[in-house]
Chains A and B, each alone.
Chain A
Amino acid sequence: MNNERNWRRTLLGVVDTVTQPLIAVLISLLLGAVVILIIGKNPLAAYGSMIRGAFGKQVYLMNTLKRATPIIMGGLAVCMAWRSGYEAMGGEGQMILGAMAAALVGYYLPAPGWVRILAALLAAAAAGALYSTLSGWLFERFDVTFVISTLMLNYIANYFASFLCNYPLRDPEANVYQMQNAQTGELPAGATLPPIAKGWVHWGFVLAVIAVIIVWFLFKKTSFGYKSRMGGLNPRFALYGGINARRMLYLVMILSGVMAGLGGAFETLGSKSRYVDQMIFSTGYAWTGMVAALLANMNPIGTLVASILLAGLAVGSSQLMLMDIPLEVCNIIEGIITLFMSARMIRIAAGNIRRRKQAKGGGEA
């Protein structure tokens, strides 16, 4: 009987993590509909084409999944750090360095293609981890808050990468007069992450899903996950129980940096085949990942789902332009939905309802 109850609890937990983002999406779609009505279009038709544009055809769906890949990794990086109580926002910088490291190793390493891929992934993971550790060290040694250090380090990483691909490592073959961003040399054919099958998303997405499972396992099934959660829930309790806070800080920051760095590598190796100036910065992958993680309350599986939804939203809203809805309005709708989905109030409201139900159920205790 007890087992049955536990089962129900687990099931409820799963339903919880999935329904909350969905409720958020629904409410925000309603608000978005108001905006569409104001500019005199039919919201239903608009949403229809949005959904079709995101998930309706294989091409669109694959586009969405491709876009979701770095978002998932950015989200996992946030899950790692935030669940342990370190509110770091350095995913963007780590992702940029990861993307750049992968682009350079993949381009310059004289080795067969698959070795280049492996080496590029390793280099990206290392770059992300080191950069993330740096903010951890600043926090531990000098009390620099994560918000400040990570945000500033993000700029440094972006401009450093920008400098590299504009000057010393600029692709000599790219047309200098072309109106486009600077970039590094293109990876040779065998050195990129290929599509899973013809017309499918690249293998980076599969690796991202594997990363989700690994993080889920770490959180749920290891004593490391237990310690990091306790540190996040009450750092004093963790200290009192003998958990080594310093060791946890660095472990967590390294793992978080590895996730973000790999996210950058997937984008380089699977999508762009090189580092293109601003490729991570202007797309906001890391930030969307943070929204996904917040939305899923730091649950890795929920982060996966939310990342795909958010990627679909971006891909799908570009379809609205075909209906003569201006790009700006598309962005407003995307903004409203993102804002609403990330609003904590939804989770709080859901929590209140549950508590009230429990109170009604009473007696059980």
Chain B
Amino acid sequence: MVFEMKHITKTYDTVVANDDVSLHLNQGEILSIVGENGAGKSTIMKILYGLEKPDSGEIFVGGKLQRFHNPSDAMAVGIGMVQQHFMLFEQMTVAENIVFKNELKKGPFMDMERTVETVRQLSERYGLKIDPAARIADCPVGLRQRVEILKILYQNANIIIFDEPSAVLTPLEVEALLETIRGLAKAGKSIVLITHKLQEVMAVSDRVYVMRQGRVVAERMAADTNMEELAMLMVGHPLASYEIDPPKPGATLLETKGLSLVENGRQVLSGISLRVNAGEIVGIAGVSGNGQSELIRCITGLEKSTGGQVLVGEKDVTNRSVREIRDAGLAHISEDRYVWGSAPEGTLEENTLMARQDEMPFSSRGVIHPRAIREYAQRLIQGFNVKASSPAQKMRELSGGNAQKLIVAREMSLDTPVLICCEPTRGIDIGAMEAIHSRMLQRREAGAAILLVSSELTEIMSLSDRIYVIFEGKIVGEFQRGSMDDKHLGLLMVGGSIEHE
């Protein structure tokens, strides 16, 4: 056993990120930790790497109890971590980056010859091909990751943690990475791989932990399990579905035709065609980071698409301004309530007024009517049971759930034919969640067309009349309510197929 973590618990404010987590790693083993976003897998590894301190629990490395105050402490006992976001100096060479902080010196100066030679040897020993003299700025992402790995090897790490290493890579680079990981294990290194991509897990790991809601819910030998089982364990059993009447067929109110987006040469969205009809909730299921955010930004006018069309009602609103798209009859609960959905330093009044500031009765000829604004804010606060002391208090003083309810109240009160709900219940308590869900169902009854994006599969499954599955910027499946179980959906979401059934 190269390390063992016992009964680790970690809370942030009121959220329990890790709840009594125990795990261990054996010599030369490739261990995967899988789970949905927010399941706590990154947190537990940050604790192991000294980036976060646990509230309770113990860490043993090489049999000895350790207490890490920062990553240097972890590094000193041979633990290295390849972060999702690389920490490299763009303007320096590969070799310089690798030896950073442990430079080889000749007198007071850096010994460049010896540095390049050492780096070259290191790269040959582990079969990680790089050019020591290349500038980082000229290296593609896959190579940069290789530099990160060499940096850790140079510091004599025995335990290497990879945090979502394939998230930024092209499929070909992923192949090379998996090969690298296998090679490192063969060379005697012990590996921890954090991911939610199950093919990779099955391709390289010896053993797998599944985490959900801060806990380890299962431990499997890779040989004894399969993607279906892991997907099932990751997602958990669905909540009891809401009793929903079958949808009454209505006109198509929101439609995209071949919507595409190329960003920095990367195809983020490829030809997305979907439609949402009146009186229908349509879910987009997918592991986050597969293009959902970009899709919604392209539909709502926050980002310009590079191909295809968006129609709201009969109107073509492709790449129009946010104002025009909203005026065409669309409201939008954004995925991040403090980044897009509100001004935390603004008052509740100011936050409820957004998008209506130029309408009667809130203003006429550019002059606002504070009384009407206050009454409106009060009405929304009461109508949606937002716990607040006054409409003049600041948004950031509300709890996450109440802030979210206020945003939902604002957007729903616009009474638009189309409503977009992105992660409408992320990070909020069950009470607020159910309140928001029942509002969504009410709007559906009233004939609105609702597009729901959520990384919570259970939320998608319980609310949607129809589900599209998105994977790597493509729609990979479309299902009617009840024709699909979460196991299959989960599999599609991670790029698997169901043809062999």
A218-266: which residues lie under 8 A (CB-CB) from chain B?
221-227, 229-230, 233-234, 236-237, 239-244
Q: Considering the complex, which residues of chain A in the window 15-70 have a beta carbon less than 8 Å from any beta carbon of chain B?
A: none
Q: Are B326 and A236 in contact (CB under 8 A)?
A: no
A364 interface residue per 8 A CB criterion: yes
Cβ contacts under 8 Å, A242 to chain B: 321-323, 325-327, 355
Total cross-chain contacts (CB, 8 A): 74
- Report whether A244 and B368 are in contact in the complex, using a CB–CB cutoff of 8 Å: no
- Smallest Cβ distance from B389 to chain A, in angstroms? 4
Name which residue of chain A comes closest to B402, CB basis: A365
The reply to whether the CB of A175 lies closer than 8 angstroms to some CB of chain B is no
B392 A234 Cβ-Cβ under 8 A: no
Given contacts A240-B302, A242-B321, contact A224 B366 (CB under 8 A): yes
Chain A residues positioned under 8 Å from B302 (CB to CB)? 239-240
Instruction: Name the distance in Å between A224's Cβ and chain B's nearest Cβ.
Output: 6
Chain B residues touching A, range: 35 or more
B354 x A230 contact (CB < 8 A)? yes
Known: A9-B392, A221-B368, A242-B326. A237 touches B345 (CB 8 A): no
Within 8 A of A (CB), among B325-382: 325-327, 332, 334, 339-346, 350, 353-355, 357-358, 362-363, 366-368, 370
**A226/B387 contact (C-beta < 8 A), A234-B343, A244-B321 known:** no
Is A178 among interface residues, defined by CB-CB distance under 8 A? no
Contact pick for A229, options B300, B323, B344, B350, CB 8 Å: B350
Contact residues in B for A9 (Cβ distance below 8 Å): 390, 392
B341 near A230 (CB under 8 angstroms)? no
Cα distance, A222 to B368, chains bound together (Å)? 5
A6 within 8 A of B: yes
Question: With a CB–CB cut-off of 8 A, which chain A residues contact B332?
Answer: 240
Do B390 and A222 have beta carbons less than 8 Å apart?
no
**CA A230 to CA B342, docked complex, whole Å:** 9
Contact of B388 with A by CB under 8 A: yes
- B354 — nearest CB in chain A belongs to which residue? A241
Across the interface, do B321 and A240 meet the contact criterion of CB distance under 8 Å? no
The reply to whether B357 and A6 contact each other, CB–CB distance below 8 Å, is: no
Q: Is B322 a contact of A223 with CB atoms below 8 Å?
A: no
Complex: chain A residue closest to B358, CB-CB: A223
- A222 — nearest CB in chain B belongs to which residue? B366
**Does A5 count as interface, using CB distance less than 8 angstroms?**
yes
Do most interface residues of chain B lie in helix, strand or loop, or is the interface mixed? loop
Closest to A240 in B: B340
The chain A residue with its CB closest to the CB of B351 is A237
Query: How far, in Å, is B298 (CB) from chain A's closest CB?
Result: 14
Q: Which of A223, A242, A244, A364 has the most C-beta atoms of chain B within 10 angstroms of its own C-beta?
A: A242
User: Which residues of A are found within 8 Å of B323, using beta-carbon distances?
Assistant: 242-244
Contact B350 A365 (CB under 8 A): no
Cα distance A5–B325 in the bound complex, in angstroms: 39
Contacts of A224 in B (CB 8 A): 366
- Bound-state CA distance A80–B26 (Å) is 63
Give the shortest distance, in Å, between A321 (CB) and chain B (any CB): 45
Q: What is the CB-to-nearest-CB distance from B413 to chain A, in angstroms, rounded to a whole number?
A: 14
Contact A237 B358 (CB under 8 A): no
B398 CB → nearest A CB, Å? 9
Q: Verify B350–A230 contact, CB threshold 8 A.
A: yes
Q: Bound complex: CA of A221 vs CA of B368, how far in Å?
A: 5
A226 touches B366 (CB 8 A): no
Do A227 and B357 have beta carbons less than 8 Å apart? yes
A224-B363 Cα distance, complex, nearest whole Å: 10
Closest A residue by C-beta to B327: A242
Which of A222, A226, A236, A243 touches B339 (beta carbons < 8 Å)? A236
What is the bound-complex CA distance between A243 and B345, given in angstroms? 18
Contact of B343 among A6, A222, A233, A244 (CB under 8 A): A233
Chain A residues within 8 Å of B344, by CB: 233-234
Report the minimal beta-carbon distance from B75 to chain A, rounded to whole angstroms: 36
27 contacts between A and B (CB under 8 A): A9-B390, A9-B392, A222-B363, A222-B367, A223-B363, A223-B368, A224-B366, A226-B357, A226-B368, A230-B346, A233-B343, A233-B344, A234-B342, A234-B343, A234-B344, A234-B345, A234-B346, A237-B342, A237-B343, A237-B354, A239-B322, A240-B300, A240-B334, A240-B341, A242-B322, A242-B323, A244-B321
**Beyond the given A222-B366, A226-B357, A242-B325, could you list 9 further A-B residue pairs with CB under 8 A, ordered by the A residue number?**
A221-B370, A223-B358, A233-B344, A233-B346, A234-B342, A237-B342, A242-B326, A243-B323, A244-B323
